[in-house]
Chains A and B, each alone.
Chain A
Amino acid sequence: MTVPDQVTQSEEIMPMLMGPKVGKTRAGNIAINVGLYIVAFAAAFLLVSILILATTTTSPWDVMHALYTGSVSGWAAIGLTLEQATPILIVAIGVVIANRAGTFTIGPQGQFLMGGLVAGFVMFKFGLPVPVALPLCLVGGAIGGAIWAGIAALLRYTRGVDVIISTLLLNFVALELVDFCLNKIFLLQENVPTSPKPPQSAQLTTGERLPRIGHLPGFSVTSGVLIAIALTVAVAFVLARTKWGFRVRMLGLNPTAAQAAGVSMALFGGGALILSGAFAGLAGGVWFAGIGLRLTPGFEGGLGGEGLLVALIARRSVIATVPIAIFFGMLHSGGGYLATTGVPTNIVDIIRGLVVLAAIMPPVILHVWDNRRSLRVARRSAQRAVAGADLVEVAA
């Protein structure tokens, strides 16, 4: 019946991945830290360049230029970047909440899918007028994601099932469920006269979509961006200033002390997990109603996983998720442009992977260095002493 015994693997992994425990608040250390990051990113850049040279006919410069052109070279590109960053950002702030509570989830993919799926049902099957249906589809998306995460929370706090395992497996269930719904006319499959009918939903008509801000060829972006910004501000405030945020932080940093102080793991840990699911689900809804406009098998397309990575790099900071999510958005928009130049867009995936590695490696390296250095110092001083002892023996 003892609660502290139930510390799961995920909670042990957390500090390793998330804990910024390197800095000893010394200026020298900060310099080393910054230097390490520069080296890590330079190494990533070098590797990417080599890969481009080895596998494509273009130069690394051309690839970088294409990425730049597609992502920030003009108002249209910037709009596209922000739009691509929107679902990633919404997922990421949800994951930050879960991480703060000490829960390591990998379920955003499935929750995103479930959110999009519920949003699809609301838009296509409820027959509501658009002004009602649109907000309801976003709320429904959030609920869909929350329920999906809720299953993991329930399994964790009633049966002790590890959250990493349950959220991972629920991702596959969600994928299949979406597939199923998109293959049945009476569910979400689009009823087109062709045969066989493609496994996809109908497309939202212009009037059914989330309103857009601005017009192409200028700056144009889905109003989902505003939702993402509002949520970021709200979550940053709630985590920093409210009793709930304080308790969630306490739970993440020391579950035992939190339990003694009245922060129930099930209530707050489970709550944070469900909330992160709601955010991923909402991201699915926003993506569907503002960006994707149609559900296809696996429509999540890695966005949930990218949100997870953004949160991983941001450690536990909500604010840090914003620039990182925008960078990920840039890789999407720039990558889209790159594809038109004939370069395989897999390059973009490799860039993303290396950048993530470069961002999370320095703390690990510092830790290893620290251990090595103390051993080396000890060995040297011992050897010096041994040499002295030998002399004494000879003299004797």
Chain B
Amino acid sequence: MSDATSSTIATGKPSGFPVVPAVEMRGIIKRFGSTVACDRVDLVVQRGEIHGLLGQNGAGKSTLMKVLTGLLTPDAGVISIDGVPRIVKDPHAASKLGIAMVHQHFSVIEALTVWENVVLGEKGRLDEAATIKSVRAISERYGLDVDPTAKIATLTAGQRQRVEIIKCLRRDPSIVILDEPTSVLTLAESEELFSTLRYVVRDENRAVVLISHKLDEILNATDQVCIMRSGLVVAQLETAATDARSLAREMVGREVSLRGEAVALGLIQEAEEIAVEAADAVATPAGDVALRIDDVTVKGPGGVRLLDHLDLEIRQGEILGLAGVEGNGQVTLANVLSSLTDVDSGTVEVAGRAVRAGKAGAMARAGVAVIPEDRHAAGCVLDMSVAENLVLDDLDRVSNGRLVSSSKIRENAIRLIQQFDIMCPSPDTPMRFLSGGNQQRVVLARQISRNPKVLVAAQPTHGLDVGAVEYMTEQLRRVADEGVAVLLISTELEEILALSDRIAVINEGRIMGTLDRQEADLDRIGLMMGGQEL
């Protein structure tokens, strides 16, 4: 019955009649335990428009889209596709309905070629020639330049994303969802992507949902914008009729004035202005070199150079921002500095003394503290208590000889919980039950309380809300003022510009150049991120 209705609507659409939206989500509720990720959310996306979904990390954007693509089942609410109410049971059902999503993190297989990745998951016989032809056709039509026979491992992050988009478009979806698509792209690549999207929307009458937390992206690329805040839709606006400031206000729920917030929201100009002032005011006295990375090369599987003769020097009391597009060796660098990865050649020196990379805990003992990008993987043990997580790498402080003293663990925990304002029911609460921001504080508290010489912060504000971002940036600044050398690894240029004394740019495992904050500008950094040496 439903199908019959849909076909009448699709065929007999008189002009002037209200258009049936491609996607209509009404009253969507999704809870995770006691938190409500989506609270009676309504979203209407028309064909022929790019619909922005704006919100901070954790606002419920991704949850909503996962509901639409069948990855999550809603607790309540109804989804209509082209006017017909549907149950999107699983991703398979979603793809039958013409919904396709390009995920933030790639699901391509490195060992396979582009065309093999494109047909992956399709049924039936493999037809190499036909697939290559169709990949070429799509590449040309949308200006997504990529060689169908190339191995994924040889492609840059931007090219890999093109593969994902080709994969998505080949299934001819009527509704395309892009989840934070620019986090792995250079500025130039982002612009290309948006012109492709324009074409897809204008000339082919598809509907596009663009998930983002970057204001300028939303302003430049979308027609409509839906702003979410802590699970609620707080505003539905026409993009042309709004500006960065009011978007930011809706997103945060109040006037944005603080530097940390401006950074978090991507108000670049403002962040830049404040940062320049800050940099001038501080004018850090150059201390001794605390961390020297000299000619370090790390090879990955298949001999790919993850770090390629990388040199980096950080002095006491300065924040060195390492800018770069995601996937250019930042993770490897952080792993080396966390003793997780050994180097194939080169040396790492902390305060003038060489440290053996890859030896468990050697970096930590030498005075390198790391706030890892993936705190669940390397920063904490989810099934241990908060108190235990506060002493993971510093057991000696809470031990009598070989015995761990539970009372000392507790004392330490109570002190740090207070000092770092960690919200948790008790020190014995399992780490798993803390919010992301508080888990991050536990990691920060443990690392700073060890009085490190070097603090490496890898994407320290990833996935945090504005308040937590502010707190984190303040802490980094404070730690640097106390004489610790801080390495800030971030893909958010705004964050780097606002916090760093010096800025280095990494591309394919190499440092493209290092700039003082005063001489750094977006254009130069953008070029370097794209691989041009200065």
Whether the pair A267, B360 counts as a contact (CB closer than 8 A) is yes
User: How near does chain B come to A273, taking the closest CB pair, in angstroms?
Assistant: 16
1/0 contact string of A228-265 vs chain B (CB within 8 Å): 00000000000001111111011001101111111111
Write the chain B residue with the least CB distance to A371.
B73
1/0 contact string of B372-410 vs chain A (CB within 8 Å): 100001111111100010001101100100111000000
Q: How far is the CA of A256 from the CA of B365 in the complex (A)?
A: 16
Write the chain B residue with the least CB distance to A259.
B360
Which of A57-65, A278-286, A338-346, A379-387 is the interface stretch? A379-387
Which of A1-9, A145-153, A180-188, A215-223 is the interface stretch? A1-9
Cβ of A375 under 8 Å from chain B: yes
Cβ of A378 under 8 Å from chain B: yes
Q: How far is the CA of A258 from the CA of B379 in the complex (A)?
A: 9
- Among B75, B360, B384, the one with the most A-chain Cβ atoms within 10 Å of its Cβ is B360
Q: How far is the CA of A382 from the CA of B26 in the complex (A)?
A: 11
Interface residue tally on A, bucketed by range:
35 or more
Cβ of A194 under 8 Å from chain B: no
Q: How far is the CA of A245 from the CA of B77 in the complex (A)?
A: 49
Whether the pair B341, A2 counts as a contact (CB closer than 8 A) is yes
Whether the pair B74, A262 counts as a contact (CB closer than 8 A) is no
Q: Which residues of B contact A381 (CB under 8 A)?
A: 74-77
Cβ of A205 under 8 Å from chain B: no
Whether the pair A250, B342 counts as a contact (CB closer than 8 A) is no
Write the chain B residue with the least CB distance to A382.
B87
User: Of A242, A250, A256, which is within 8 A of B378 by CB?
Assistant: A256
* A386-B358 contact in complex given A1-B341, A250-B381, A253-B382, C-beta closer than 8 Å: no
Whether the pair B87, A386 counts as a contact (CB closer than 8 A) is yes
User: Of A2, A256, A382, which is within 8 A of B74 by CB?
Assistant: A382
Whether the pair A257, B360 counts as a contact (CB closer than 8 A) is no
* A262-B364 contact in complex given A2-B340, A3-B358, A250-B384, C-beta closer than 8 Å: yes
Whether the pair B379, A257 counts as a contact (CB closer than 8 A) is yes
Write the chain B residue with the least CB distance to A389.
B85
Cβ of A377 under 8 Å from chain B: yes
Whether the pair A260, B364 counts as a contact (CB closer than 8 A) is yes
Residues 357 to 396 of chain A near chain B (Cβ within 8 Å): 374-375, 377-379, 381-383, 385-386, 388-390, 393
Q: How far is the CA of A374 from the CA of B2 in the complex (A)?
A: 25
Residues of chain B at interface, number, CB under 8 A: 57
Q: How far is the CA of A265 from the CA of B370 in the complex (A)?
A: 19
Whether the pair B392, A261 counts as a contact (CB closer than 8 A) is yes
Q: Which residues of A contact B1 (CB under 8 A)?
A: 390
Whether the pair B404, A242 counts as a contact (CB closer than 8 A) is yes
- Among B300, B372, B395, the one with the most A-chain Cβ atoms within 10 Å of its Cβ is B395
Q: Which residues of B contact A378 (CB under 8 A)?
A: 73-75
Q: Which residues of B contact A246 (CB under 8 A)?
A: 388, 395, 404
Whether the pair A265, B78 counts as a contact (CB closer than 8 A) is no
Q: Which residues of B contact A382 (CB under 8 A)?
A: 74, 77-79, 85, 87
Whether the pair B76, A379 counts as a contact (CB closer than 8 A) is no
Q: How far is the CA of A2 from the CA of B339 in the complex (A)?
A: 10
User: How near does chain B come to A112, taking the closest CB pair, in angstroms?
Assistant: 30
* A260-B75 contact in complex given A244-B402, A246-B395, A393-B5, C-beta closer than 8 Å: no
User: How near does chain A come to B385, taking the closest CB pair, in angstroms?
Assistant: 11
Write the chain A residue with the least CB distance to B26.
A385
User: How near does chain A come to B225, taking the closest CB pair, in angstroms?
Assistant: 26
User: How near does chain A come to B74, taking the closest CB pair, in angstroms?
Assistant: 6
Whether the pair A253, B383 counts as a contact (CB closer than 8 A) is yes
User: How near does chain A come to B199, taking the closest CB pair, in angstroms?
Assistant: 34
- Among A258, A262, A393, the one with the most B-chain Cβ atoms within 10 Å of its Cβ is A262
Q: Which residues of B contact A386 (CB under 8 A)?
A: 2, 78, 85, 87
Which secondary structure dominates chain A's binding surface?
helix
* A257-B381 contact in complex given A1-B344, A381-B77, A393-B5, C-beta closer than 8 Å: yes
Q: How far is the CA of A260 from the CA of B379 in the complex (A)?
A: 8
User: How near does chain B come to A157, taking the closest CB pair, in angstroms?
Assistant: 12
Q: Which residues of A contact B362 (CB under 8 A)?
A: 262
- Among A2, A4, A247, A386, the one with the most B-chain Cβ atoms within 10 Å of its Cβ is A2
Write the chain A residue with the least CB distance to B365.
A262
Q: Which residues of A contact B210 (CB under 8 A)?
A: none
User: Of B26, B27, B78, B392, which is within 8 A of A257 by CB?
Assistant: B392
Q: How far is the CA of A257 from the CA of B80 in the complex (A)?
A: 44
Whether the pair B358, A260 counts as a contact (CB closer than 8 A) is no
Q: Which residues of A contact B342 (CB under 8 A)?
A: 1-3
Cβ of B133 under 8 Å from chain A: no
User: Of A242, A253, A374, A389, which is within 8 A of B402 by CB?
Assistant: A242
Whether the pair A257, B344 counts as a contact (CB closer than 8 A) is no
User: Of A242, A243, A260, A390, which is within 8 A of B338 by CB?
Assistant: A260
Q: Which residues of B contact A267 (CB under 8 A)?
A: 360
Whether the pair A253, B384 counts as a contact (CB closer than 8 A) is yes
User: How near does chain B come to A56, taking the closest CB pair, in angstroms?
Assistant: 46
Cβ of B477 under 8 Å from chain A: no
Cβ of B511 under 8 Å from chain A: no
Q: How far is the CA of A390 from the CA of B85 in the complex (A)?
A: 9
Cβ of B178 under 8 Å from chain A: no
Cβ of B171 under 8 Å from chain A: no
Q: How far is the CA of A263 from the CA of B360 in the complex (A)?
A: 6
Whether the pair A256, B382 counts as a contact (CB closer than 8 A) is no
User: Of A24, A243, A257, A374, which is within 8 A of B403 by CB?
Assistant: A243
User: Of B332, B360, B392, which is within 8 A of A264 by CB?
Assistant: B360
Residues 37 to 90 of chain B near chain A (Cβ within 8 Å): 73-80, 85, 87, 89
Whether the pair B361, A262 counts as a contact (CB closer than 8 A) is yes
User: Of B73, B298, B379, which is within 8 A of A375 by CB?
Assistant: B73
User: How near does chain A come to B381, taking the closest CB pair, in angstroms?
Assistant: 4
Q: How far is the CA of A264 from the CA of B361 in the complex (A)?
A: 8
Write the chain B residue with the least CB distance to A377.
B75
User: How near does chain B come to A109, taking the closest CB pair, in angstroms?
Assistant: 30
* A260-B78 contact in complex given A1-B341, A379-B89, A385-B27, C-beta closer than 8 Å: no
* A256-B27 contact in complex given A243-B404, A247-B395, A262-B360, C-beta closer than 8 Å: no
Cβ of B105 under 8 Å from chain A: no
User: How near does chain A come to B295, taking the closest CB pair, in angstroms?
Assistant: 16
Cβ of B478 under 8 Å from chain A: no
User: Of B2, B89, B393, B404, which is within 8 A of A261 by CB?
Assistant: B393
Q: Which residues of A contact B360 (CB under 8 A)?
A: 258-265, 267
Q: Which residues of A contact B383 (CB under 8 A)?
A: 253-254
User: How near does chain B come to A353, taking the closest CB pair, in angstroms?
Assistant: 30
Q: Which residues of B contact A390 (CB under 8 A)?
A: 1, 85
Whether the pair B74, A389 counts as a contact (CB closer than 8 A) is no
Q: How far is the CA of A164 from the CA of B57 in the complex (A)?
A: 41
Residues 316 to 374 of chain B near chain A (Cβ within 8 Å): 332, 335, 338-344, 358-365, 370, 372
Whether the pair B382, A254 counts as a contact (CB closer than 8 A) is yes
User: How near does chain B come to A246, taking the closest CB pair, in angstroms?
Assistant: 5
Q: How far is the CA of A257 from the CA of B399 in the complex (A)?
A: 20
Q: Which residues of A contact B365 (CB under 8 A)?
A: 262
User: How near does chain A come to B348, taking the closest CB pair, in angstroms?
Assistant: 14
Q: Which residues of A contact B341 (CB under 8 A)?
A: 1-3
Write the chain B residue with the least CB distance to A385.
B78
Cβ of B299 under 8 Å from chain A: yes
Write the chain B residue with the least CB distance to A375.
B73
Residues 17 to 56 of chain A near chain B (Cβ within 8 Å): 24
Q: Which residues of B contact A264 (CB under 8 A)?
A: 359-361
User: How near does chain B come to A396, taking the closest CB pair, in angstroms?
Assistant: 11
1/0 contact string of B473-513 vs chain A (CB within 8 Å): 00000000000000000000000000000000000000000
Whether the pair A241, B299 counts as a contact (CB closer than 8 A) is no
Instruction: Return 8 A-B CB contacts under 8 Å, by A number.
Output: A246-B404, A254-B383, A256-B378, A260-B370, A261-B361, A267-B360, A379-B87, A381-B74
Q: Name the 8 nearest CB pairs between A and B, nearest first.
A: A262-B361, A378-B73, A385-B78, A261-B393, A264-B360, A386-B85, A1-B342, A260-B338
With A253-B384, A386-B85 already in contact, 16 other A-B pairs whose C-beta atoms are closer than 8 Å? A1-B299, A1-B344, A2-B332, A3-B358, A241-B403, A254-B382, A260-B372, A262-B362, A262-B364, A264-B360, A374-B73, A375-B73, A377-B75, A382-B79, A385-B77, A388-B78
